Amino acid sequence: MGIIVQKFGGTSVGSVERIQNVANRVIQEVARGNQVVVVVSAMGKTTDELVKLANQLSKNPSKREMDMLLTTGEQISIALLTMALQSSGHDAVSLTGWQAGIKTEAIHGNARIVDIDQEKMLKHLNEGKIVVVAGFQGLAVESEITTLGRGGSDTTAVAIAAALKADKCDIYTDVTGVFTTDPRYVKNARKLQSVSYDEMLELANLGAGVLHPRAVEFAKNFAIPLEVRSSMEIENGTRVEEEVSMENNLVVRGIAFDKEVTRVTVIGVTNGLHSLSTIFTTLAKNGINVDIIIQSMTSADQTNISFSIQSVDLDETLSVLEENKESLGFVSVEHESGLAKVSIVGSGMISNPGVAAQMFEVLAQHGIQVKMVSTSEIKVSTVVEDAHMLKAVEALHAAFELEINVEQPV
């Protein structure tokens, strides 16, 4: 008998019928002789609807009260799923994040898990119960309820798997696995049999919504076997594991893309050893996530600094820069919206030079201008006009032969 953690997203529990389907999947795992912990998200669009209600009452609701509000969504899901399991003759118990012993930072809206007290979950498992845990939430000091940010239920599931030393963590979603790119946009996108932790982490950070980056970090750090599977279809998913055989395999394994990107350029920054650190420390203290950074010296005394952000953060970014203009020492700020990020990812890029050059050549052949570039050992990201995003994805997907099945057999 082993411990299996299963996570079901909002679509998977979006109706009474789908909750019953989830209950059946859980029962099947129990029938294999395993102890099961189930982590669930809020039903369907519940979180979006709660956010909408809050915005109707306040233009800027406090993050604390938003956490109080949003955590109710998962509580509905765990109670209904537990009822379904009990009605099927199985002993089950629902636990909120704090009842499950999930402890977080004292940050509302985007807290990180710092510890899990697994005592209560283990007690229920050892009593033969199925444990149903609310994802996305935890408890900080002074009994403050917190949330883990969008996609936080993935993180909850993998963190619980690590704490319980589970044999496996299955992430059930509305797709059948991890694809070479988003199959909703590229028809010949192909499901991967397996993907490495590092590749998955890059894909998740670069816009692939199938797994939350923090969840992949937990899985890698604690060597938790992951499988991304369909909650509706009975078939093998995509394994996320430490090593994937690269023999006769694809150099580029996947393409991620992210809309709503804005380039901000801070002009006339006074040259100095601490200029860069001062600007980006100021932005970080205000919770603004900066992605690609380019510095270009314009004279011996001044430099321009460009960086990309999510478009939703533009107003706050401009406000923070303006408020700190004197201390940061710059002349003016310009910005360009209507951009998108397109990235290629693959562990094989480490030992195959020329992949970036091929990417740029493909984009040039299709008349797509590259505005910013960022690289790592296993990825190349480009910022292009939003209008050209899908054309870029389709062209790169074809150029790197991602629709052709050249993977090793399982």
Residues 147-179 have pLDDT tens digits of 998 789 999 999 999 999 999 999 998 889 999
Look at residue 149 in the predicted model and tell me its pLDDT. Answer: 87
- φ, ψ of residue 216 to 5 degrees: the values are -65, -40
Q: What is the pLDDT of residue 410?
A: 41
Tens digits of residue pLDDT in 379-402: 999 999 999 999 999 999 999 999
CA-to-CA separations, 87 to 39, 169, 286, in angstroms, rounded: 19, 25, 48
Residue 235 burial (CB count, 10 A)? 10
Q: Which of 1, 28, 7 is nearest to 218 (CA)?
A: 7
Per-residue pLDDT of the chain (410 residues; tens, 9 = 90+): 799 999 999 999 999 999 999 999 999 999 999 999 999 999 999 999 999 999 999 988 999 999 999 999 999 999 999 999 999 999 999 999 999 999 999 999 999 999 999 999 999 999 999 999 999 999 999 999 999 987 899 999 999 999 999 999 999 988 899 999 999 899 899 999 999 999 999 999 888 878 888 899 989 999 999 999 999 888 999 999 887 654 346 789 999 999 999 999 999 998 877 788 999 999 999 989 999 999 988 887 889 999 999 999 999 999 999 999 999 999 999 999 999 999 999 988 888 889 999 999 999 999 999 999 999 999 999 999 999 999 999 999 999 999 866 554 44
Q: Is the pTM of this model over 0.75?
A: yes
Is there a contact between 374 and 294 (Cβ–Cβ < 8 Å)? no
* Nearest partner of 130 among 206, 49, 35, 46, judged by Cα: 35
Domains with residue ranges and CATH for the chain: 3-174 (3.40.1160.10), 244-410 (3.30.2130.10)
As a whole number of angstroms, the distance between CA 252 and CA 345 comes to 6
